[in-house]
């Protein structure tokens, strides 16, 4: 089953095709920015019995000519994939007569290292096909932790957060992205809503997803979009349900642990034992930047 985090890692290139040229510079690959882009059908099925679909397929028209960009989001090594990728490129080239490029996006470092290999297809003395994907993994996309830097390239920041979602830097990227989105004008509300949704998808079920959803409820309450309203409504619903207090307490502990803040047994019991949604919400907000549990409980009597 295709996961939402899988979708986000290739859909971001649909939202901003120019992101490809900017992102792969770190790989030593220089592509001119597109002058225009056409989204093509991802269906590369040749016969009825076998259906093949690439995740995203774009025609990129640049000042140096045109090329096809096939984007694949890969979650884990799969020995069957190189043959499928070779098929995608060969069939797309045969169909459109435009040179293809394969970009594989991996949030897992081991998978990125596997995908970055050269795949020789054919007998060892003379491979008939040589597959050389461009691969973007956590180590190939910089950590965007500055709000100013995030504002200059929001799509790259979304990609950065999605690829670093399991890293200690994830919360800094998400904070920078939230501030950048907050700086958008009211006319850009639909754009912000798109990247909010992509970011939520891209984080999957990692602890960073809890941080992002809380940032949406707190820092982006000014948005009136359907997405933002839904996020706020979910946040309010959590506060109304007593059982959800446990979820909020867990989110505080997960966030502190993710950021490397040591939580003693007494403080842990205090957080788990708190049944006040408002207090837990305050603690969760403080946990985003706190360097100790004392800062989380700042100003409150024991």
- Tokens 């691969």 sit on residue: 135
Positions of the chain with pLDDT under 50: 1, 47-50, 222, 224-228, 239, 301-302
pTM of the predicted model, to two decimals?
Answer: 0.67
Angle at 20 between CA 150 and CA 206, to 5 degrees: 55
User: What is 204-241 written as a DSSP string?
Assistant: TTSHHHHHHHHHHHHHTTT--SHHHHHHHHHHHHHHH-
What phi and psi, each to the nearest 5 degrees, are found at residue 216? Answer: -65, -40
Instruction: Of 153, 176, 173, give the one whose Cα is nearest residue 163.
Output: 173
pLDDT of residue 49: 44
Length of the chain: 302
Burial zone of 261 (CB within 10 Å; 0-12 exposed, 13-18 middle, 19+ buried): middle
């Amino acid at each position: 089953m295709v996961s939402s985090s899988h979708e986000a890692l290739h859909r971001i290139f649909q939202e901003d095709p120019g992101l490809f040229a900017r992102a792969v510079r770190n790989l030593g690959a220089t592509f001119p920015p597109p002058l225009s882009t056409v989204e093509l059908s991802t269906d590369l099925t040749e016969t009825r019995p076998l259906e093949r679909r690439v995740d995203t397929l774009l025609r990129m028209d640049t000042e140096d000519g045109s090329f096809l960009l096939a984007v694949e989001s890969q979650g884990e090594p799969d020995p069957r994939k190189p043959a499928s990728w070779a098929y995608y490129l060969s069939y797309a080239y045969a169909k459109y007569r435009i040179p293809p490029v394969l970009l594989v996006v991996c949030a897992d470092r081991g998978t990125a290292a596997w995908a970055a290999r050269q795949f020789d297809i054919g007998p060892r003395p003379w491979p008939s096909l040589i597959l050389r994907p461009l691969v973007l993994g956590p180590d190939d996309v910089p950590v965007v932790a500055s709000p100013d830097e995030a504002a200059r390239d929001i799509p790259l920041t979304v990609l950065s957060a999605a690829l670093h979602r399991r890293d200690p830097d994830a919360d800094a990227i998400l904070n920078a992205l939230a501030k950048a989105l907050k700086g958008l004008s009211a006319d850009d509300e639909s754009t912000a809503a798109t990247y909010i949704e992509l970011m939520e998808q891209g984080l999957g079920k990692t602890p960073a997803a809890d941080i992002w959803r809380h940032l949406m409820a707190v820092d982006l309450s000014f948005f009136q979009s359907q997405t933002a309203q839904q996020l706020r409504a979910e946040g309010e619903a959590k506060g109304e349900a007593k059982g959800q207090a446990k979820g909020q307490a867990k989110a505080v502990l997960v966030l502190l642990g993710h950021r490397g803040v040591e939580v003693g047994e007494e403080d842990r019991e205090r957080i788990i034992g708190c049944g006040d949604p408002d207090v837990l919400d305050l603690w969760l907000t403080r946990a985003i930047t706190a360097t100790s549990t004392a800062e989380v409980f700042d100003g409150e009597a024991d």
